[in-house]
Structure 1
Amino acid sequence: MTPRGRRVRVSAAVVLALALSAGGAFAVNPGEQLPDPAQEARAREISAELRCMVCQNQSIDDSDAPLAKDLRLLVRERIKAGDSDRQVLSFLTDRYGEFVLLRPRLRGETLLLWGFAPAILVLGLAGYAFWAFRVRRRSAAAQGLTEEERARVEALLDRDVEPGRPG
């Protein structure tokens, strides 16, 4: 193996190791954690269901954004105040809307968005494809030869071609 090939393999292994080790990192700082392990477990469970509004594709537990930290602290405050998990989630959705949930609840507007929108999109695309196919077929049929062109083609096909000379 060439030295360059070894360097490429070592670099790929280092990148893979870094990527795999970064997946387990949590953004929750020790100072944020609740002293009661049961309450902290509840806080982690709730935080895993909440979206970081800055990162948008991470839970607030996985995000280092200042807003995610504020939300983590707010969750812990509500738990210390004696709120149930449902009350904490209701408080946050009342304050920030359904967008704060990583998995939005099934409601009228979400059912419309996730249930009917894809079906309408598929039907619309199928209708467009059908229309485009028909238009293309009609235009191909309309582009046929005129009588004069047809006669000229017939004349060219019927003429004798001399041997050795291209037609």
Structure 2
Amino acid sequence: MSVTRDILATYRHPKAVALRRQADGPREERALAVLMAACIVIFVAQWPRLSREAHLAETELGPLLGGALMGWVFMAPLFFYAVAFVTQIILMLFGGTTGYRARMALFWALLAGSPLILFQGLIAGFIGPGTLNTTFGLIWLAAILCFWLAGLMAARQKPE
């Protein structure tokens, strides 16, 4: 199934999609590609907000975009790998799973939440800070947590 169809299917049946995506066996290049795609989408979602901030402060947009690029595309993947490693250690204490499956659960949750973060970025850019922006940020975080937990439950199951 294509990535976009899997993203849409994740909103209906997150555990089934996680099982299907983890069934191919450990493919570290795929996990890295999913993580990098998620981080790039999150970086792109920051553009409207950063453009608004640059316009209101009457400053250049380039340095703001450069900082967001450095943070989301180069630093965030390292952070997410560390979070996945800690998750793997915790799961090993309670029954175990492979490191790949623990990583893929987190990375896929981030990519599956990309439509929500893109919409939240538009809200931040056009409306600015406020209740609606905060609400969609919390909805994005809740969706990522739900998808991540579903992926972790799928990771604990034996592959078919």
* TM-score normalised per structure 2: 0.28
Task: Name which one, 1 or 2, has greater alpha-carbon Rg.
Answer: 1
Between Structure 1 and Structure 2, the one with more helix by share is 2
Q: Of the two structures, which has the highest relative contact order with CA contacts closer than 8 Å and spacing of 6 or more?
A: 2
TM-score, length basis structure 1: 0.27
